[in-house]
Amino acid sequence: MSRPLPKAGRYALRAASLAAALGLWQLLTSLNVDLWLRFSQFPTVADVARAFAGRLSGPDYWTDLTDSLTRILTGFLLAAVLGVATGVLVARSRSAEDLLGPVLEVVRPIPAIALVPVAILLFPSNEQGIVFITCTAAFFPVLVSTRHAVRALIPVWEEAVLTMGGGRWRILGSVVLPGALPGIFGGLSVGIGVSWICVISAEMISGQYGVGYRTWQDYTVVDYAGVFVGMVTIGVLGWATSTAVELLGRRLTRWLPRTSYVAGARPRPVKAAAAPASTRADHAPSTEEARDEHLV
Amino acid sequence: MSTSSDTDVTATPIARTKAPAAVRGTRLTLRGADLGRPDAPPVLADVELDVAPGEILTVVGPSGCGKSTLLRTLAGLLSPPAGEIGQDGSPVTGPAADRALVFQEDALLPWRTLRANVELPLAIKGSARAERRRQAESWLARVGLADHAHQLPHRVSGGQRQRAQLARALAGAPRAVLMDEPFGALDAQTRAGMQDLLVEVLRGTGATVVFVTHDVDEALFLGDRVALLGNGRLTAVRDVPRPRDRTAHDDPARVALRRDVLSSLGT
């Protein structure tokens, strides 16, 4: 295995990857390359950058941005709370599983964007409809991953808390939720991605303001540079929000044993305190290994 | 043969000296109990067992003979399909804080530091934050982990994890400690150290201990009495001469008992 790059080197590599993609785009479009794929109608990077600069100084861009962010954050947070609560309930209670399971399983395969007619019928305003669709989109990944994570918990943890006199709520708070957190964050990461797909699509169909609405408007008036400004905006926002979810997840699941490679990449002074020789010999190298040797 | 259910208090050995102010151990009894999961045939049938307050009862038997089932039943995690389980004369209906369980595997919560793990039973009891912090630190110091209080379980060795588990079990001041092969995963050197540590930290707690092991020497060293399991029954409960005395290894009575136990286990 090659030696891992230092931190600065890795960031340089990432920046270079983005720059190379932009360079290729500029090259293909400025030379009007037309090899079956036609880049002649495509705006160049410079065109898009100019349009972007123009938008940034106008008022609509920031309204669109905050509208889209408000919709997705509201929908996503609702989905996170509902998804985790329902997932835990379905995984822990047989009657909840029987009552909710069939409904959830029938609704789950319906693409959230196909719920636009339902949203229009149900909600008095477009705004609430879009939040509903975003929420539904993120709800199922969170629900499913929570359910699996809760079912995969090691029973010993729960038994330990039971024999300390812990009750239901104690087990929920001290075992189930923290133990399922790595799995829950898997679902949240998928969920935030699906949320973006749905909030943009819903805005294109029925929105007023919002990045998706603006992008579609630009397309209808043949402002291709504007379309690309919208796409870049979506890309950056999506990347920022999913990074936020990732970072929060990593922070909350710091306790997970990591491989030495990852641990080295994020150095933490854990083993610093050298243990002064304790009173007893205690050099068990690895539990699993020792366990196998000593089974009678 | 099984322990006679009519053994009275005076006939049961209480070999350990107890500090006067200590928590008194509890009496655990099984009467005509079948043990096992509700949806399966019983692993152990018709068990008569009387664990006296404050004694250390070790339980030995071959793999899969129901040692863990016995312990989980005493903990209240499994209810016996038939027969009765009692604590000081009243029936056991479920797990409770006064019967702590120490597991073989890593039962520490991996997202809590060792200190936070030891604090957990105290938090469940509702003691104040400063108080449980103080107690947890004192327990960790007693098991030699004072310098590891802020480590996560996977950062310390298997032996250290088991010491932390012991501290966690005792921190809640239980009246009985049920131990399920707690040192089974440790190497021989560490294990001997852990046995000495266990004897040391139990001194003064007065807790009743049921200690399951597959290691006959461990059972004979730690136990006031040793219970033998085999063929789905509790086959015998024998008094151990000179328990917790390392020099008693060559004691003729101990050697004879060891031979008996090994032959009854079919090894």
Task: Tell whether the model's pLDDT for residue A289 goes beyond 80.
Answer: no
Q: Say what the pLDDT of residue A88 is.
A: 94
Q: Say what the pLDDT of residue B267 is.
A: 55
**CA dist list (Å): B54 to B50, B100, B214, B218, B242:** 12, 14, 22, 19, 16
Which residue bears the tokens 């087990």?
A171
Chain B contacts of A276, Cβ < 8 Å? 147
Task: Tell whether the model's pLDDT for residue B239 goes beyond 50.
Answer: yes
Side-chain half-sphere CA neighbours of B17 within 13 A:
2
Lowest mean pLDDT among A10-14, A147-151, A269-273, B89-93: A269-273
Lowest mean pLDDT among A99-103, A269-273, B43-47, B201-205: A269-273
* Whether A296 and B215 lie within 8 Å, measured CB to CB: yes
Across chain B, mean pLDDT equals 80
Q: Which two tokens stand for residue B6?
A: 């009519």
Phi and psi torsions of B58, nearest 5°: -100, 150
Q: Which two tokens stand for residue A81?
A: 């709370």
DSSP E strands in B92-207: the ranges are 99-102, 176-180
Average pLDDT over residues B82-108: 84
Confidence of residue A81 (pLDDT cuts 50, 70, 90): very high
Confidence of residue A136 (pLDDT cuts 50, 70, 90): very high
Task: Tell whether the model's pLDDT for residue A288 goes beyond 50.
Answer: no
* Whether A283 and B107 lie within 8 Å, measured CB to CB: no
Lowest mean pLDDT among A40-54, A125-139, A143-157, A256-270: A256-270
Q: Say what the pLDDT of residue A225 is.
A: 84
* Whether A280 and B194 lie within 8 Å, measured CB to CB: yes
Across chain A, mean pLDDT equals 82
CB proximity A169 to B under 8 Å: no
CB proximity A277 to B under 8 Å: no
Chain A contacts of B144, Cβ < 8 Å? 278-280, 282
Chain B contacts of A285, Cβ < 8 Å? 157, 187
| Cβ-contact B209, B176 below 8 angstroms | yes
Q: Rounded distance, CA B121 to CA B135, Å?
A: 11
* Whether A156 and B121 lie within 8 Å, measured CB to CB: no
Per-residue pLDDT reduced to its tens digit, B132-154: 899 888 888 888 888 888 888 88
Shortest distance between the Cα of B203 and any Cα of chain A, in A, equals: 17
Lowest mean pLDDT among B112-121, B143-152, B235-244: B235-244
Between B173 and B17, residue with greater pLDDT: B173
User: Best residue in B111, B119, B140, B200 to probe A by mutation, most A CBs within 10 Å?
Assistant: B111
Q: Rounded distance, CA B58 to CA B70, Å?
A: 12
Q: Rounded distance, CA B112 to CA B108, Å?
A: 8
Task: Tell whether the model's pLDDT for residue B180 goes beyond 70.
Answer: yes
Q: Say what the pLDDT of residue A79 is.
A: 94
* CATH fourth-level superfamily of A58-255: MetI-like (1.10.3720.10)
Radius of gyration of chain B (CA): 18
Lowest mean pLDDT among A191-200, A273-282, B242-251: A273-282
Average pLDDT over residues A15-26: 91
DSSP letters spanning A121-133: HH-SSHHHHHHHH
Residue B92 burial (10 A CB sphere; 0-12, 13-18, 19+): buried
Residue spans per domain, chain B: 9-98+174-264, 109-171
* Whether A165 and B97 lie within 8 Å, measured CB to CB: yes
Nearest to B157 among A284, A293, A296 (CB): A284
Task: Tell whether the model's pLDDT for residue A280 goes beyond 70.
Answer: no
Average pLDDT over residues A25-53: 85
Nearest to B61 by CA among B78, B43, B75, B73: B43
| Cβ-contact B96, A164 below 8 angstroms | no
Contacts of A152 (CB under 8 A, 6+ apart): A183
Q: Rounded distance, CA B200 to CA B187, Å?
A: 20
Task: Tell whether the model's pLDDT for residue B175 goes beyond 50.
Answer: yes
| Cβ-contact A275, B148 below 8 angstroms | yes
B227 pairs with which residues across the strands?
B59, B237
Lowest mean pLDDT among A170-174, A261-265, B28-32, B107-111: A261-265
Confidence of residue A165 (pLDDT cuts 50, 70, 90): confident
User: Best residue in A280, A291, A292, A293 to probe B by mutation, most B CBs within 10 Å?
Assistant: A280
Per-residue pLDDT reduced to its tens digit, B13-72: 444 443 444 457 788 888 877 888 878 788 888 888 888 888 889 998 887 788 888 888
Average pLDDT over residues A254-277: 53
Shortest distance between the Cα of B97 and any Cα of chain A, in A, equals: 4
Chain B contacts of A182, Cβ < 8 Å? none
| Cβ-contact B29, B51 below 8 angstroms | yes
Chain A nearest-CA residue for B112? A255
* CATH fourth-level superfamily of B9-98+174-264: P-loop containing nucleotide triphosphate hydrolases (3.40.50.300)
Shortest distance between the Cα of B76 and any Cα of chain A, in A, equals: 8
Phi and psi torsions of B84, nearest 5°: -125, 150
Phi and psi torsions of A174, nearest 5°: -100, -20
Q: Which two tokens stand for residue B263?
A: 């032959």
Q: Rounded distance, CA A14 to CA A254, Å?
A: 24
Confidence of residue A5 (pLDDT cuts 50, 70, 90): low
Shortest distance between the Cα of A291 and any Cα of chain B, in A, equals: 4
Chain A contacts of B125, Cβ < 8 Å? 165
Q: Which two tokens stand for residue B68?
A: 């863990």
Task: Tell whether the model's pLDDT for residue A276 goes beyond 80.
Answer: no
Maximum alpha-carbon separation in chain B: 53
Strands B56-60 and B208-213 come out as parallel
Q: Say what the pLDDT of residue A264 is.
A: 43
* Whether B63 and A175 lie within 8 Å, measured CB to CB: no
Residue A58 DSSP SS3: coil
Chain A contacts of B121, Cβ < 8 Å? 164-165
Nearest to A81 by CA among A148, A134, A139: A139
| Cβ-contact A218, A210 below 8 angstroms | no
Query: ipTM higher than 0.85?
Result: no
Average pLDDT over residues A225-238: 88
Q: Say what the pLDDT of residue A281 is.
A: 40
With a pLDDT cut of 70, the percent of chain A lying above it is: 85
Shortest distance between the Cα of B260 and any Cα of chain A, in A, equals: 18
Q: Say what the pLDDT of residue A116 is.
A: 85
Q: Rounded distance, CA B248 to CA A27, Å?
A: 88
Chain A contacts of B105, Cβ < 8 Å? 156
* Whether B97 and A270 lie within 8 Å, measured CB to CB: no
Chain A contacts of B215, Cβ < 8 Å? 296
| Cβ-contact B125, A165 below 8 angstroms | yes
Q: Say what the pLDDT of residue A142 is.
A: 94
| Cβ-contact A213, A203 below 8 angstroms | yes
Q: Say what the pLDDT of residue A263 is.
A: 43
What is the CA angle B68-B71-B77, rounded to 5?
100
| Cβ-contact A150, A96 below 8 angstroms | no
Residue spans per domain, chain A: 58-255
Q: Rounded distance, CA A129 to CA A116, Å?
A: 7
What type of residue is A34?
A: D
Range with top average pLDDT, A140-154, A157-171, B223-237, B247-261: A140-154
* Whether B187 and A279 lie within 8 Å, measured CB to CB: no
